[in-house]
Amino acid sequence: MIDIHAHILPGVDDGAKNWGQSLEMARMAVADGITVMVATPHLFKGRTIDRTRLNTKEIILQHVAQLRHRLYEEKIPLEIIPGCDFPLGFESLQLLDDGRALTINDANRYLLLELPDTSLPPATEEICFYLQSKGITPIITHPERHMIIQEMPYKLKRLIDSGCLAQMTGNSLTGWFGRRVKKISRQLVKLGYVHLLATDAHDPKGRPPLLSEAVTELSRLVGENRARAMVNDIPGKIIAGEPCF
């Protein structure tokens, strides 16, 4: 399986705290059947907009190179691809335009787009349109955990109809985030509003890098072939920078 959203790089955000945790996460992912993982640190290290505390393209590429080396040394068969968890906002866009923010695999074709936790700003569609005008497809991350989309799924539909993709967190489907999120996740999947699953892993225990149980749940909803596509073919095309559909 291919996981396109994981906070596995150590000491750069609220994900893995050190190399020990990074390697433990890598071992867990491999044991669960994950062979490729996109390392996606938050663009702003402290989660608030602070241009002095950034995970720039250079920082992420440097950490990815180090992690690849550590995995090679430890004989852990996990391929790491560079990426970024990109928050919706004009400040972030400016950093992207300046070449300081990283898209998935540095290909300028796909970008993980994180909405603010409790709001859906009026500029969301405009920002998505702007990204698409530059040839970048926004991938809306974990819509099932977003307060407004939970109440009004048609707001997600609008974004999808305008060309965005949606990535669900695997563990939302397994009940990790509670019954309500699980129920909403099932609804969004059945409505056809979900294109791929990823772990959004942050550490080995609280937010682990696991997908297989979620794929079993997903298979019950959409059949095994479509479920497998959401963790193999589609993320594979995203990494390759190819059209998904």
Residues 6+ apart with CB under 8 A from 66: none
Least distance to Fe ion from the beta carbon of 92, Å?
14
A 10 A CB-CB count for 87 gives 20
Strand stretches in the chain, DSSP E:
2-6, 36-39, 79-82, 85-87, 110-114, 137-141, 165-169, 196-198
In the complex, what is the shortest distance from the CB of residue 172 to Fe ion, in angstroms, rounded to a whole number? 13
Residue nearest to Fe ion (CB): 85
Complex with Fe ion: residue 200 or 217, whichever CB lies closer:
200
Beta strands 196-198 and 85-87: pairing type? unpaired
Between residues 53 and 73, which has the closer beta carbon with respect to Fe ion?
53
Q: Which is nearer to Fe ion, 116 or 226 (CB)?
A: 116
Nearer to Fe ion, 28 or 222 (CB): 28
Shortest Å, Cβ 204 to Fe ion:
16
Q: Which residue has the tokens 């991350």?
A: 141
Nearer to Fe ion by C-beta: 85 or 217? 85
Compute how many other C-beta atoms are within 10 angstroms of the C-beta atom of residue 197.
Answer: 30
Token readout for 27 is: 């071992």
What is the nearest approach in angstroms of Fe ion to the Cβ of residue 84? 10
Least distance to Fe ion, CB of residue 184, Å: 18
Nearest approach, Cβ of residue 58 and Fe ion (Å):
20
Q: Is the Cβ of residue 200 or residue 203 nearer to Fe ion in the bound state?
A: 200
String of DSSP letters for 3-49: EEEE--STTSSSS--SHHHHHHHHHHHHHHT--EEEE--BSBTTSS-
* Residues near Fe ion, by CB under 5 A: 85, 200
Query: Helix 19-32 and helix 57-73: axis angle, to 10°?
Result: 70
**Edge to edge, what strands does the sheet with 79-82 contain?**
2-6, 36-39, 79-82
